[in-house]
């Protein structure tokens, strides 16, 4: 299954940049910097952003990503993702049921937040989702209510058969450890968005992901 509009994209979840809107800096500039530094997938997250504004931002970001092979995912808003021609949608526990999203969007990436719940992850995989996300792994400034999940959860997720993404409070100093523990990649917000030099921050994060992959046992 491919992206609508025929765009070719990768399925590397190594460095997953979540752009939290509204942002202090221009979203297009942030995405451009993140991708230049090595981000492999971009998500737009705008929990309190009107659908029309989120749609316009998605269009602008999608234009920037054309030709990069980096897919665009929209958090929560399947309607915006489809209207803007984004590659995918990410849903959490209070969003549309992942089973229904998978049915409605067969040609798009569908990712699911599983927090620390391996049973939810297994149900999501059985429904045909493309990746599962676990976290938080440290207190998260963008989601302070999120419960911290033990690293052992990642090892338990390795047999699910889909990519595993770690998210929530992840900064550079923990990336290598988290990937070694079993994550295929890390999703970050402030580690890039809040950095003085987002491109350099993304480059350092991507290097840490690769070190973590190389350091896995076996």
Domains of the chain and any CATH numbers: 4-214 (3.20.20.70)
Q: Give the Cα separation of 6 and 31 in Å (integer).
A: 21
The angle formed by the CA atoms of residues 148, 154 and 160, to the nearest 5 degrees, is 130
From first CA to last CA, the distance across the chain in angstroms is 32
Q: What is the pLDDT along the chain (218 residues), one digit of tens a residue?
A: 333 444 557 789 999 999 999 999 999 999 999 999 999 999 999 999 999 999 999 999 999 999 999 999 999 999 999 999 999 999 999 999 999 999 999 999 999 999 999 999 999 999 999 999 999 998 766 666 668 999 999 999 999 999 999 999 999 999 999 999 999 999 999 999 999 999 999 999 999 999 999 998 86
Length of the chain: 218
pTM of the predicted model, to two decimals? 0.94
Distances (CA, A) of 211 to 34, 120, 154, 180: 19, 29, 17, 8
């Amino acid at each position: 299954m491919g992206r609508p509009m025929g765009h070719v994209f990768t399925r590397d979840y190594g460095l997953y940049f979540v752009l939290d809107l509204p942002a202090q800096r221009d979203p297009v500039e942030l995405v451009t910097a993140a991708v230049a530094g090595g981000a492999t997938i971009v998500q737009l997250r705008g929990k309190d952003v009107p659908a029309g504004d989120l749609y316009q931002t998605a269009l602008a970001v999608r234009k920037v990503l054309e030709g990069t092979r980096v897919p665009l995912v929209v958090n929560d808003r399947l309607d915006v993702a489809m209207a803007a021609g984004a590659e995918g949608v990410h849903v959490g526990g209070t969003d549309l049921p992942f089973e229904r999203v998978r049915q409605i969007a067969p040609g798009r990436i569908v990712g699911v937040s599983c927090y620390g719940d391996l049973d939810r992850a297994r149900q999501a995989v059985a429904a045909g989702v493309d990746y599962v996300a676990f976290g938080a792994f440290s207190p998260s400034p963008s989601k302070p209510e999120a419960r911290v999940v033990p690293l052992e959860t990642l090892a338990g997720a390795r047999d699910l058969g889909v990519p595993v993404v770690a998210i929530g409070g992840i900064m550079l100093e923990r990336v290598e450890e988290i990937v070694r523990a079993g994550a295929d990649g890390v999703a970050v917000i402030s580690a890039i968005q809040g950095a003085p030099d987002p491109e350099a921050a993304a480059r350092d994060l991507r290097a840490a992901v690769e070190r973590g992959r190389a350091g896995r046992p076996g």
